Amino acid sequence: MHDAQDTAVYRQQGFGASLRLAPPFGLLIVDFVEGFADPAVFGGGNIPQAIARTHGLLELARTQGWPVAHSRIVYADDDGDANVFSDKVPGMLTLKEHSPASAIVASLAPRAGELVVRKNVPSAFFGTTLAPWFTQRGVRTLVVAGCVTSGCVRASVVDAMCWGFAPVVVSDCVGDRAIGPHDASLFDLAQKYAEVLPLEGLRSRLALAA
């Protein structure tokens, strides 16, 4: 949690303005794969709860006809694309195309027409077709779920903002293996880069905008 003095400094300096949630909307689900759902691999913390809450968010997006994209971390079978990310976290190299740990969790499995982005760095936008895919579909406001909040979610949200999308981080649909980095990242994202709302708050904002 962040004390009142911290929050006051940001407010005094003009951070934390609200973003307008303008249609069309899109949904990005970052790295909700089996390895990050498993506390024995890359998971833990509040990731299971975030996955469970994302079922409702994905249903909302599909009902509304939003473009939906999912990301996975996938390294080459021969480790030929090993990089600084895998130097820092060598276990990432176990995430291959056909590795069970790299498979999107079954309850959030992509449907036909939904994009699956393969990446080997934190951001789902870096070196992928994600930005033009959303742009082609006219997306202005990008709703984001996934894990981990302090890593690939944060990197993807910052890049989304840089590409000109208005990001909305659904706070109870993102998770991290440790709660401290999760809370700190949500605070920072809300102050500088994104709108941060729980799922019910998002539903309310959508209803008001309808």
Tens digits of residue pLDDT in 137-152: 999 999 999 999 999 9
The answer to whether 173 touches 53, Cβ cutoff 8 Å, is yes
Q: What angle do CA 48, 133, 117 make, to 5 degrees?
A: 40
Give yes or no for a cis peptide into 174 (omega within 30° of 0).
Answer: no
Helix (H) or strand (E) holding 195: strand 195-197
Per-residue pLDDT band for 153 (boundaries 50, 70, 90) equals very high
Q: Rounded to the nearest 5°, which phi and psi values hold at 38?
A: -105, 115
Rg (CA), the chain: 17
Place of tokens 């021969």: 78
Sign, CA dihedral 41-107-154-9, equals: negative
Per-residue pLDDT band for 116 (boundaries 50, 70, 90) equals very high
Place of tokens 């303005």: 17
Q: pTM here?
A: 0.96
Residues serving a catalytic function are: 152
Q: Any residues with CB less than 8 A from the CB of 121 and at least 6 apart, and which?
A: 83, 85, 127, 155
The mean pLDDT of 92-118, rounded to a whole number, is: 98
Query: What CATH architecture does domain 23-209 belong to?
Result: 3-Layer(aba) Sandwich (3.40)
Residue 17 per-residue DSSP state: P
Which pLDDT does position 28 carry in this prediction? Answer: 99
Gap between the Cα atoms of 179 and 44, Å rounded: 10
Half-sphere exposure of 168 (CA within 13 A, CB side): 26
